[in-house]
Chains A and B, each alone.
Chain A
Amino acid sequence: MAKASDLDVAYVSKLARLNLTNEETQLFQKQLADVLKYAEKLGEVDVSHVEAAAHAIPIFNVFREDEPRDWFTAEEALSNAPHKANQLFIVTKVVE
């Protein structure tokens, strides 16, 4: 079992694309270490013959007819955009 002390909140926050202040990083480091320590009990359970369950009631091959239907207009799709112009979402520059 991984150790609670392995957690590096500053590193994980980069993976999560989520900036944290120094205070938050320190606070979460302590609080989440407590949670991980509490969860160490999962290491006691014999799971060698158990299949992982992603859903309690799994259903498979869910399809519907691929038929065109009325849905959002461009205006509606853009209605909540933080930045838009000419019926387009304006994004932050990604290429030099």
Chain B
Amino acid sequence: MSRSDLPALTIADLQSLLRRKEISPREVINSLRARIENVEPKIDAYLSIDFEAAAKEAEKVDVDLPLGGVPIAIKDIINVKGQPCTCASKILANYRSPYDATIILKLRASGVIPFGKTNMDEFAMGSSTENSSVKVTRNPWDLSRVPGGSSGGSAAAVAADAAFGGLGTDTGGSIRQPASLCGVVGVKPSYGRVSRFGLVAFASSLDQVGPLTKTVRDSALIMNAMAGHDEFDSTSLNEPLPDYTKNLGHDFKGMRLGLPKEYMIEGIDPQVKSAVDAAIKQLQSLGAEIVDVSLPHTDYGIAVYYFLATAEASANLARFDGVRYGYRAKDPTDLLDHYGRTREEGFGAEVKRRIILGTYVLSSGYYDAYYVRAQKVRELIRQDFVKAFEKVDAIVSPTSPVPAFKLGERTADPLAMYLADIFTNTGNLAGICGISVPCGLAKVNGSQLPIGLQILGKALDEARIFQIAHAYEQSTSWHKSKSPNSINPKSEIRNKSGADDRD
């Protein structure tokens, strides 16, 4: 492999080359820099990059650490000391983080180099990354299409070999859906599994940070470094942390996988449906038993989600008042003018829309009818999963009902955009874990567009969904299919027998 091809490597392979001293951390940064300079003009995945700082860190990093010398792209909603943290919003355009989030400290302690910040929907509100106030990120599989969102920058960067791996956040599907649309692996950990201290809050009862990577093993490696209790996050769970790579490669004969009948909705793309059906057959052939389950309150998920997420957002975003940090409107006449214009000029349309909806559902006279009722239906959704998990070990479904849609196709209709999260948001409402893994390619107008398989697991059962996803991945070759904007793209999908398990 030539040095310029290094960014095509998985994290696991990169780290083993680093540990064997076949390459140096400095060479890794240099090759990644060249790669980003080459492909970034086409995909626009990054909001800021600090190669100088990364090169300095590369000089002193210990390659014997679990992720020693591995550069990771960070969604621009997570604080990395000294770097901007804009949430793709004008209101934070000039903000620089004075501290590291707990997860960044943990990743640094494992040898990770957080070198750059990725594009996103403003404050993580969106499913296409088109709500960024800065720029439009393009899907490496088809540059006229969205990468998904809100973690679209991290997903597109990984898919285009412009990052070895990335971090995203998932409030209603914002890791899994872009992972699906860009053909990479994305994980939403269980609520409370990963610290959120230093994450800019959107909807605090739903947000989780998770990895986006080329393989399931890479996600497990990042989770090993990042997950665990943090006394600075009161929602962080103080539970033992397993080694997430331990079960990889174990077969799962007798594992029971649930197929929710409510997920076979109208409006699901026929190519998505047939790819997921084929994936289920594949899981069966690997020894899984497929069991029909019912999640009867699924259809209420989007409505519940948009009441609760916007209510929490309206409260969380009250901190953007133009006093301690962020944008402040010029020459306010009084305090109300100061707040009203600072927020008018600082926030984009979708953020404003959600603050209005959230304020409304919390307002006097509507609180019980909307917010409290939504919380109650949320409990029923959670109970649906508890009951289903009495019968099965994990649940499988499509990640997104459709492959990547065109830029601009859904921006005029917020409700249509909200429905992009139809299979993912209930996982956040229930606090469980989920992963999206590539399971096919749809052919649409001459483009090949990735399809994702979602595997949902019980709360704190990440090790099991990693095991299932890894076994599936290694028995197929979808994770090896490369976008036309990846290094050495191969649009031809190799025969399944060509899959090799390096584990």
Query: What residues of chain A have their CB less than 8 Å away from a CB belonging to chain B?
Result: 1-2, 6-7, 9, 12-13, 15-21, 24, 28, 31-32, 34-35, 38-39, 41-43, 45, 47, 50-57, 59, 62, 64, 72, 76-77, 79-83, 89, 91-94
- Whether the pair B326, A32 counts as a contact (CB closer than 8 A) is no
| Whole-angstrom CA separation of A13 from B355 in the bound complex | 9
Which of B45-53, B377-385, B463-471 faces chain A?
B377-385
- Whether the pair B379, A50 counts as a contact (CB closer than 8 A) is yes
- Whether the pair B323, A12 counts as a contact (CB closer than 8 A) is no
| Whole-angstrom CA separation of A24 from B369 in the bound complex | 26
Q: Which residues of B have CB within 8 Å of A7?
A: 360
How many chain B residues touch A (Cβ–Cβ < 8 Å)?
Answer: 75
Q: Which residues in window 263-321 of B have CB below 8 A to A?
A: 297, 299-300, 302-304, 306-307, 314, 318, 321
Given contacts A31-B414, A52-B372, 10 further A-B contacts (CB under 8 A): A12-B360, A16-B359, A18-B356, A32-B353, A35-B357, A47-B373, A54-B375, A57-B459, A59-B235, A80-B326
- Whether the pair A18, B347 counts as a contact (CB closer than 8 A) is yes
- Whether the pair A56, B429 counts as a contact (CB closer than 8 A) is yes
Do A51 and B379 form a contact, CB below 8 Å, given A16-B359, A39-B303?
yes
A-B CB pair tally, cutoff 8 Å = 171
The residue from B191, B306, B332, B380 contacting A45, defined by CB atoms under 8 A apart: B380
Interface presence of B324 (CB below 8 A): yes
Interface presence of B328 (CB below 8 A): yes
- Whether the pair A16, B355 counts as a contact (CB closer than 8 A) is yes
Do A45 and B377 form a contact, CB below 8 Å, given A7-B360, A55-B191?
yes
Q: Which residues of A have CB within 8 Å of B378?
A: 52-53, 56
Which of B11-19, B335-343, B483-491 faces chain A?
B335-343
- Whether the pair B376, A52 counts as a contact (CB closer than 8 A) is yes
Interface presence of B447 (CB below 8 A): no
Q: Quick one: closest B residue to A80, CB to CB? A: B325
